[in-house]
C-alpha cells in the first residue's frame, strides 16, 4: 500500500540555497505511459539551481526540483508493460526528483545494471543523455580522434571522459586546482590542463604538434569559444553545453571557413518526449553495456540527505565537486 503523502523539496521563492524548503505533497499518480518510482537518490544539476533562482518552468511541470533519479518502480500507468513493477531504474525527469516518489515516462527509464549500486545510478541519466547526444551525435566523435573537454571534473565531464576513452578517443581535459587535476589524471586522460595556471590553447598546440583537436566539448562560453576554435583541427566540431562565462561571443568567420569548422549546441530539458525516447534507446544500446562491464561509471563526489538539499546546491555553485552530487532519499 502506497502512502498518500510524501516529503519533497521546493524553492519557496527565487533566491539562494536558503530558499529551498521541505514540504509535504500528495504522492503523484502515474498517467498513461508513466511509471511511479520510489526514489532512492536524486541527482543535483545546474538546471536545478537555475530553477531555484527563478527560471520559469515549462507549462505543467511540477515545482518540485530534480531532473534525474534512481529507484524502484512501484506502480504503472495505463499502457505500460515495461519497465515492470519492482524494476530498478534510473530515470530522466522533467522535474519532481527531490521527493520520496516521482513519476517518469516509461521510455525514459533505463534499467540499472546489476554491477552499478542503485544509489550511484542517480548520477547517470543527465550525464548519459547529455554526453551521448552532444559528444557522439552532434560532435560525431570517432575512435582514434581527439577531444578537449572543459569543466572535466564535473559530473558530465567525468562521464564524458570515460565515454570518449571507451570509444577509443584521446582525451584532453581542463579543470581548476590540484585536486581536480589529480582526479582527471586518475581517470587516465592524455593531458589534464589546470586552467588556473595553463593556457589550454598553447598546451593543445604543443601536445598535438600544431594540429589541434577534433572535438571541443565546452561548458564555459564567453571568450573560451574563440580560443576553442583556434585549438580545433581542420574539420573540427565545437559543441556548446553551457555558457557559464556568457552566451554572447565574437567569432572569426574567416578562421571557421578556413578550417572548415562546425559549431553546434543543445539543451536537454526542452527536447520533445519522442526525441528523449530516441536518445534513451541509443543509450541503452551503446552505453549501458559499457556501464555493465564497468568501463563507465558515475563519479560520485558526495551524497547528502534530502533535507540537506541547500548544502548540495552550495557545493555545486562553488564548483567544489569532482563528479556528481546526489541526494539520498531512501535507504
What pLDDT score was predicted for residue 209? Answer: 96
| Band of pLDDT at residue 1, cut at 50, 70 and 90 | confident
Mean pLDDT of 30-36: 98
The burial of 188, by beta-carbon neighbours within 10 Å (0-12 exposed, 13-18 middle, 19 or more buried), is given as exposed
What pLDDT score was predicted for residue 222? Answer: 83
The torsion of the CA quartet 227, 204, 127, 219, rounded to 10 degrees, works out to: -10
| Band of pLDDT at residue 251, cut at 50, 70 and 90 | confident
Provide φ and ψ at 128, rounded to 5°.
-65, -45
Check whether 248 has a pLDDT greater than 90: no
What pLDDT score was predicted for residue 257? Answer: 94
| Band of pLDDT at residue 247, cut at 50, 70 and 90 | confident
The whole-chain average pLDDT of the chain stands at 95
Least confident of 23-37, 129-143, 181-195, 266-280: 266-280
| Band of pLDDT at residue 58, cut at 50, 70 and 90 | confident
Task: Give residue for cell 556568457.
Answer: 246
Instruction: Name which residue leads in pLDDT, 267 or 170.
Output: 170
What pLDDT score was predicted for residue 267? Answer: 84
Q: Among residues of the chain, what percentage have pLDDT more than 70?
A: 99
* Helix (H) / strand (E) containing 46: helix 46-52
Q: Are strands 324-328 and 109-111 parallel, antiparallel or unpaired?
A: unpaired
Task: Write out the three cell numbers for 291.
Answer: 556501464
Check whether 181 has a pLDDT greater than 90: yes
What pLDDT score was predicted for residue 215? Answer: 98
Check whether 206 has a pLDDT greater than 80: yes
Mean pLDDT of 79-99: 97
What pLDDT score was predicted for residue 158? Answer: 98
Least confident of 52-61, 76-85, 162-171: 52-61
Mean pLDDT of 216-243: 92
Q: Among residues of the chain, what percentage have pLDDT more than 90?
A: 90
Check whether 287 has a pLDDT greater than 80: yes
| Band of pLDDT at residue 114, cut at 50, 70 and 90 | very high
Using CA atoms, how far apart are residues 38 and 2, in angstroms rounded to an integer? 10
Nearest Cα residue to 284 out of 169, 271, 269, 276: 276
Listing DSSP states for 5-40 in one string gives EEEEEEESSSSSGGGEEEEEEEPP---TTEEEEEEE
Q: Are strands 34-44 and 68-76 parallel, antiparallel or unpaired?
A: antiparallel
| Band of pLDDT at residue 213, cut at 50, 70 and 90 | very high
Mean pLDDT of 261-286: 92
| Band of pLDDT at residue 59, cut at 50, 70 and 90 | confident
Q: pLDDT by residue (tens digit) across 295-327?
A: 999 999 999 999 999 999 999 999 999 999 999
Check whether 70 has a pLDDT greater than 80: yes
Mean pLDDT of 152-169: 97
Amino acid at each position: 500500500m502506497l502512502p498518500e503523502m510524501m516529503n519533497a523539496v521546493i524553492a519557496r521563492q527565487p533566491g539562494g540555497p536558503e530558499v529551498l524548503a521541505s514540504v509535504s505533497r500528495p504522492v503523484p499518480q502515474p498517467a498513461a505511459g508513466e511509471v511511479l518510482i520510489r526514489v532512492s537518490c536524486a541527482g543535483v544539476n545546474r538546471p536545478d539551481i537555475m530553477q531555484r533562482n527563478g527560471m520559469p518552468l515549462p507549462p505543467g511541470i511540477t515545482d518540485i526540483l530534480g531532473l534525474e533519479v534512481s529507484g524502484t518502480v512501484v506502480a504503472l500507468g495505463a499502457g505500460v508493460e515495461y519497465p515492470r513493477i519492482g524494476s530498478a531504474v534510473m530515470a530522466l525527469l522533467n522535474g519532481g526528483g527531490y521527493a520520496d516518489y516521482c513519476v517518469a515516462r516509461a521510455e525514459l527509464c533505463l534499467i540499472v545494471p546489476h554491477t552499478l549500486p542503485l544509489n550511484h545510478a542517480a548520477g547517470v541519466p543527465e550525464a548519459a543523455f547529455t554526453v551521448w547526444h552532444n559528444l557522439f551525435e552532434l560532435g560525431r566523435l570517432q575512435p582514434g580522434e581527439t577531444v578537449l573537454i572543459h569543466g572535466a571534473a564535473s559530473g558530465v565531464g567525468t562521464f564524458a571522459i570515460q565515454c570518449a576513452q571507451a570509444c577509443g578517443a584521446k582525451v584532453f581535459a581542463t579543470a581548476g586546482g590540484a585536486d581536480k587535476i589529480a582526479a582527471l589524471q586518475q581517470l587516465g586522460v592524455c593531458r589534464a590542463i589546470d586552467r588556473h595556471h595553463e593556457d589550454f590553447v598553447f598546451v593543445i598546440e604543443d601536445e598535438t604538434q600544431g594540429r589541434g583537436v577534433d572535438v571541443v566539448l565546452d561548458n564555459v562560453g564567453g571568450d573560451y569559444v574563440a580560443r576553442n576554435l583556434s585549438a580545433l583541427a581542420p574539420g573540427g566540431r565545437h559543441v556548446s553545453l553551457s555558457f557559464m562565462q556568457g552566451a554572447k561571443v565574437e567569432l572569426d568567420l574567416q578562421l571557421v571557413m578556413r578550417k572548415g569548422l562546425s559549431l553546434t549546441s543543445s539543451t536537454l530539458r526542452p527536447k520533445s518526449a519522442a526525441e528523449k525516447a530516441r536518445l534513451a534507446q541509443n543509450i541503452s544500446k551503446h552505453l549501458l553495456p559499457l556501464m555493465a562491464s564497468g568501463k563507465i561509471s558515475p563519479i560520485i563526489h558526495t551524497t547528502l540527505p534530502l533535507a540537506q538539499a541547500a548544502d548540495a546546491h552550495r557545493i555545486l555553485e562553488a564548483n567544489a565537486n569532482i563528479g556528481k552530487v546526489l541526494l539520498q532519499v531512501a535507504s
